[in-house]
Chain A
């Protein structure tokens, strides 16, 4: 069984300040982990993914995430927020390593960027 908890449903930051979106996961197997972003009225776009290589993963648009097995966390960060980062972000865990087809999604964190 696997689950994902996004610790904040809404995060608000000022433009130019750092972004931290928190995600904890639970998985019976070595997981693959993802962050997706969804802009209003759009589909989901893959930001980055972790698949048991380097624990610090770099994604698009300056985002990165660090896999911490001891803390079962996969937090998403960006050094400096831009207005275009305002969107909803989903942390996702895959149990593909266990032969499952299923992705498990967190409930999402809505990021607001204040000018």
Chain B
């Protein structure tokens, strides 16, 4: 798994509360990604980073923001969680824009 950890692994929260998920890597990979996985949709890209402080939007970025203040950490924030954001969130990293390695996932439930 290329030394990728995600925290927390499970979280239950209420609608309207802010939530931050953390991805930490020990591989010194340049690129980092956040995906969500939902039944029938496969994995969809939320945001990605191509370097410290360099981020951009993916396919489903509405309602999410990210930050990357150092190479090893990539944070995903839900400013005001909604039930539609109940999902499993995966972080991925890679040294190139090609091959990506995935973390174990965070299961988020928004009540």
Residues of chain A touching chain B, judged by Cβ–Cβ distance below 8 Å, are 32, 34, 36, 42-46, 49, 51, 90, 94, 96, 99-103, 105-108
Contact = CB atoms under 8 A, between A and B. Distances in A.
B97 A90 contact: no
Contacts of B101: 46
Contacts of B43: 44, 90, 103, 105
B55 to A, nearest CB: 11
Interface range on chain B (Cβ under 8 Å from partner): 20 to 34
Contact of B31 (A32, A45, A101): A101
Interface of B: 1, 31, 33, 40-45, 48, 50, 56, 58-59, 90, 92, 96-105
Given A103-B45, A106-B42, A108-B42, 6 more contacts: A43-B1, A44-B102, A45-B1, A90-B42, A101-B50, A103-B100
Count chain B CB atoms within 10 A of each CB in A42, A43, A102 and give the residue with the most.
A43
Contact of B104 (A34, A43, A101, A102): A43
A96 B31 CA distance: 12
A100 B97 contact: yes
Contact of A96 (B56, B90, B96, B103): B96
A36 B56 CA distance: 24
Contact of B97 (A94, A105, A108): A94
A108 B83 CA distance: 24
17 contacts: A32-B98, A34-B99, A42-B104, A43-B1, A43-B90, A43-B103, A43-B105, A46-B101, A51-B98, A100-B97, A101-B33, A101-B50, A103-B100, A105-B42, A106-B42, A107-B40, A107-B41
